[in-house]
Every structure is written in C-alpha cells, then in structure tokens.
Amino acid sequence: MQGRLILDDGAVKAVRDRHTSLLPAGISAVEGHFEAGDAVEMVAADGTVIARGLVNYSAAELPQMLGRSTVELGESLGRGFDREVVHVDDLVLV
C-alpha cells in the first residue's frame, strides 16, 4: 500500500455497511505519498483497516479536499474535483 486514508465514523459505516464509494467529506487525514491510481488503505480512527482501493487523487491534492462535499469541490476547484476519492468499483472490504 502506498498510503492511508483515515476515515470518520460516518465514512466507515458508509463504506463498510452500505458499500458506497469514499467521498472527500468522510476523510479526516491522509498519510503517505501516493499518486492517483495507487492502492491505499482506508482505516478507521483507531487504525482498523476497513478497505483497500485505488485512489483517484494524489496525496498532495487531498488535504485541501478533506471534509468537503463533492459539489463544493467542483464549484471551488473546478471539474475533476467533483468525483469520489475511491470509487466503490475500485475498493475491496477487508
């Protein structure tokens, strides 16, 4: 794994229980160095690995996106920032 995305409780439930894509609003922190397309771990606040998947953004792009909705990101940062961080089709639960 190239990095880790630390999820808030709502994102953990959404990804694990509802099998949804990971959105920027549910990420509280980013660890490691990775580029778009790299594999990352998605972990709960206590460090428990929830899932692994292919990320759509680099580690450098994500900090400005944390906690924000995709609609807000699309409006403020432009097209291309209004999509999932990890699409449900590109992640596996562990």
pLDDT band, residue 82 (cuts 50/70/90): low
Alpha helices, H only, 1-94: 9-17, 70-77
Task: Output the CA–CA distances (angstroms, integers) from residue 61 to 7, 49, 73, 82, in the order listed.
Answer: 17, 22, 12, 13
> Rounded CA gap, 76 and 79, in Å?
9
Domain 3-93: give its CATH superfamily: PUA domain (2.30.130.10)
- Mean pLDDT throughout 65-91? 80
pLDDT at 71: 76
Encoding tokens for residue 87?
């699409």
pLDDT band, residue 67 (cuts 50/70/90): confident
pLDDT at 81: 67
The whole model's pTM is what? 0.89
- The dihedrals phi and psi of 80, each to the nearest 5 degrees, come to 100, -20
> Rounded CA gap, 75 and 54, in Å?
24
- For 11-65, the pLDDT digits (tens) are 999 999 999 999 999 999 999 999 999 999 999 999 999 999 999 999 999 988 8
pLDDT at 44: 98
